[in-house]
Amino acid sequence: SLLACSFFCLFPTVYDEEKQHENFQEPNFHRLYQKGPPENIEKLKCILHYFRRITEEMPSGVITIQRYALPEKAYPNWCNSEIGLSQLCLTKEKKIEDIKNVLQADFANKYIGGGVLGSGCVQEEIRFSISPEMLVSLLVCEVMEDNECIFLIGCERYSSYKGYANSFQFDGDFRDITPKDNWGRKWCHLVAMDAIYFSDPSIQYKMDNVHRELIKAYASFRPLEKEPGFEFGIASGNWGCGVFNGDKELK
């Protein structure tokens, strides 16, 4: 119902004169309906395919949207840390969304969803297009602070795709066979984490910027569950190293 309201542009816009919702992402679809790049049509195909699927077979279960703020008292003392580096596995064969039973990174805009309902079509926008239930987060999540991230748990994938950015194309149905947890959520855990945009790439090496990115990543990858021995893998990549001008080696 919420996504249908977004589709028909029934929610208050963030562009109203009183600016009541300026800390939120624009939730309505009207920008996708305007003249724009061809990939906007492809994103609409993904979303329309989702509506077709759920009218044929209504899904069951729940999704969880959880905003997390790392308290300042929990900031690590990086200089004195004796914790070793985790095991690292590198692959070019899979996309982040193809790696199962791990925490998947969403290279997010600080306004969650980025340009998914506009002209954007890179990692975050594609992820939200193929799993449209994630779009609900645009309605309930304000702009993220430097110590915050947003967890999206249980969202099903409905579409296949090919290409990236201006070559992105809807590529048919996708059947998500990911099992569900005891809450009825698909075992798909995604964390939205926004990197700094560096108009001048050289300033990313300043320690205040390095510290900010470390805190953002730590908040995003820190296990929320308190069970002893709870651990999970993380599927990530070149976070903030595209249009945000991040340095791959530094990240």
Per-residue pLDDT for 84 more than 90? no
pLDDT band at 99 (very low <50, low <70, confident <90, very high): very high
Active-site residue (options: 97, 106, 133, 213): 106
Annotated binding-site residue? 50: no
Q: Residue 212 contacts by C-beta under 8 Å, 6 or more apart in sequence? A: 146, 196
Question: Is 56 annotated in the active site?
Answer: no
Burial of 125 (0-12, 13-18, 19+ CB in 10 A): buried
Question: Which one-letter DSSP state was computed for residue 214?
Answer: H
How high does pLDDT run on average in the chain? Answer: 93
Per-residue pLDDT for 227 more than 90? no
Question: Is 171 annotated in the active site?
Answer: no
If residue 172 lies in a helix (H) or strand (E), which one and from where to where?
A: strand 169-173
pLDDT band at 190 (very low <50, low <70, confident <90, very high): very high
pLDDT band at 18 (very low <50, low <70, confident <90, very high): low
Per-residue pLDDT averaged across 39-63, rounded? Answer: 95
pLDDT in tens, 233-242: 999 999 999 9
Instruction: Look at residue 22 in the predicted model and tell me its pLDDT.
Output: 84
Question: Is 124 annotated in the active site?
Answer: yes
Per-residue pLDDT for 191 more than 60? yes
Per-residue pLDDT averaged across 223-236, rounded? Answer: 72
Active-site residue (options: 26, 125, 194, 213): 125
pLDDT in tens, 105-143: 999 999 999 999 999 999 999 999 999 999 999 999 999
pLDDT band at 96 (very low <50, low <70, confident <90, very high): very high
How many angstroms separate the Cα of 33 from the Cα of each of 1, 20, 22, 119, 138? 20, 24, 22, 11, 18
Distance, CA of 225 to CA of 6 (rounded, Å): 33
Distance, CA of 107 to CA of 151 (rounded, Å): 12
Domain range list for the chain: 2-235
Annotated binding-site residue? 123: yes
Per-residue pLDDT for 16 more than 90? no
Active-site residue (options: 124, 133, 148, 194): 124
Annotated binding-site residue? 164: yes
